[in-house]
Structures are given as structure tokens and as C-alpha cells.
Amino acid sequence: MARVFLGKLSRRLLGGHLWVYENEISRVEGDYENGEVVDLFRPDGSFFGKGYINDNSKIRVRILSRKNERIDGEFIKRRIEDALRKRKTLKDTNAFRVVHGEGDFLPGLIVDLFGDYAVVQITTLGMERMKSWVLDALIELLQPKGIYEKSSGTFREKEGLEDREGWIYGAGPELIEFEMNGLRFLADTKGQKTGFFLDQRENAKMVLDFAKDKVCLDVFSYTGNFAAHLLKGSARHVTLVDYSERSLEIAREILKMNGFENFDTITGNAFDILKDFDKSGKKYDLVVLDPPSFAKSSRSLESAKRGYKEINLRAMRILRKPGILVTSSCTQIVSEETFREILMDASFDTGTYLTVLKRGGQPSDHPVLLNVPETQYLKFYIFQVEKRW
């Protein structure tokens, strides 16, 4: 096993961060293949941890353990067992995130459970090499009817990996039914990420208190999570907007499954549709904004800030005053402070006051490890928007 010696240890690494960058390594002794587990040592030669290495990644080593222990199938199983113990308090759902990457000390691995089926996403070469161990542990611990792998995206490309999608254990439907907050939903194995955004589970439940008798707009609706909760909360009508006709087709199926009829859908670019609504004087009582990540890296921060301001500004303009704005950001590149500044700028330009009615974030099955700030990404607010002048 190769030995990786660190240079001067940063406060970040000493404080428990799991990522070692190239410039934090002083030398490597021994040969290794990318994706292999290596031993990490302090500058004085004392043991520091174990992790997997990849020369193709800016994050050269991702730490799996600070203990001098064997990394094998039993190790992976223990980590997943630990994650499951943390989720024992989850209620009112048969769907949750089983493993949340660094938040559960398994960097490169995401596992979501939807009823009797699990969906796995592997983003790193090191975790790819451990896939058989992951699979064995999930089969033993979850006893699912099927496991679907949905490993795709730019992260894999940067790690030198090809995309992989398909059933890797058992089999199941293309649309996996599950229950959440007293509603029936469908996870789309052909859709985004793992098929459903479970991280908005608790946030979507919050809108129930504000929906009654309101005419609502759900922008970037995907398959209708917020729309379903609004209708459960007795909204008068909900309009769903998304660029994907497939997602809206599934949303229509989900809403009908739950007995809802007072909704319609619009397929198109959300920016253009919000702009058209603003120009035409269209008004709503409540607007939900749940956009995808506008920033994949720090290089796209400025464009992301412009995007967030644009959609929030348009939403504030098309709200009847006072109205309700439900808004979120799902990228760790945009900090909580930055997101609040963006919202304040939009409020200033629209001549409105924003009163915080509810704040949210990630549920407990998407754990935030304070030692790894990158694990905190989801910001969520419900505002009352009223005229300032």
C-alpha cells in the first residue's frame, strides 16, 4: 500500500475535513493505481488516516477513516449500519436517503431508498472500486427487491469514469412508488439525480400551512413535490412549470394518484415564462421557486447569483401583495449569506418587504458535517412579500 505524506497540516484537515488536495501532499512512497486506498501520514511520520487516491481529481485523496483499520466489505457495511442508526427517527415516509456521501463518511456514495427499491449513485473512482462491497451491504441490510444504479454526471467524467445506469440487483419499475407526508409519489429512474429530491421533504411539508384557498405557481416543479403539498393544503389552483415534458407528465400522474384535479402544467423555460408573466401582469397568491443548481463550481458563482436574483425578482413582481414566496437554493457554492444578499437585492429592486415566515434546510437523512462545510448546500425560505411603498 502506498504511503502519502502530508505537508504542513492545515486547520481544515486537522479539524476533520475529508478532502486532501494535491498541494497538501509533500511526497508519495510506493506505487499505486488510481482509486486504491492509501495510508496518510503527518509530516512527522505518524499515522493520519486512510483514503482513496486519484491523480485525475483536484481532490487527490478522500479520507475514509482516521483510524488505522482495514478498508474492506465489513468496513463499508459498518458505515452503512451507522448511517441507518442515525435515521431511525424518520417518520411519515417509506423513502429516505440511506447514505449521504461525506455526511456519512462515505465520500463518493449516495444511496436513496424508495419503498422496496434502492437507487445508488457513485461519483468517484475510489468508491467505484468498492461497488461490490456496497452492493453486498445494501442487499444484506435493506433486503430490497431491486437496486438501480444511476451514476452519471460531470463528477464521474472528472474522475475518469463512464456513466452507468440500470438495475444492478433484482429488477423494478421505471417509476418507483413511495409514500411521503401522507402523499403518494413516483421516483423516476430515468429522471434527475436519483429520481426524486428527498432533501426537500420537510420543506415541502411546510407549505401546507400557507396554501389554503391560494392560486399558486410552482416553478422548476420537476415531478410535482411542492405542487402535491400545496394541493393537500387546499390550494385553490396550482400551475406547474418545468422545461421537461416527461417530468410534467409524471407530475400529472402523481397529482391524479392523490385525487387532485385543480392544476395545470406549462412546459418551457422558467426564466422566459416568469418574464412573460411579469410583462403581462399575471398574478399569483403564492410562488414556489425550487431551481436546479445554478453553480457547479466557484467559476460559475457570478452567473448563478444573476440567475437567482432574476427568478426571485420576477416572482416578487407577480405576487399579489401581500403574497407568499417559497424559495430555495441547492448549491453549496452559494452560501447562506450570499443567498440572503441576493434576496435582499431583489427585494430592494421590487420595493418590497420580506418577512421570514419559515426557514428550512436539509433533513436529518442529508446530514451536514460541520467539519466539511461542503455538505451544507440547501437553503430554504418562506417569506411574506408586501409593498414597501
Note if 330 is an active site residue.
Answer: yes
Side chain identity at residue 146, one-letter code: G
Rounded to whole angstroms, the Cα distance separating 206 from 221 reads 16
Tell me the three cell numbers of residue 269.
Answer: 423555460
CB neighbourhood size of 245 (10 A):
11
CB neighbourhood size of 269 (10 A):
12
3-class DSSP state for residue 241? strand
Side chain identity at residue 367, one-letter code: P
Residue with cell 409519489: 185
330, 334, 354, 368: the active-site residue: 330
Residue with cell 414566496: 325
- Closest by alpha carbon to 239, among 145, 318, 130? 318
Beta bridge partners of 149: 120, 166
Give yes or no for a contact between 141 and 108, defined as CB atoms under 8 angstroms apart: no
Please list the active-site residues: 330
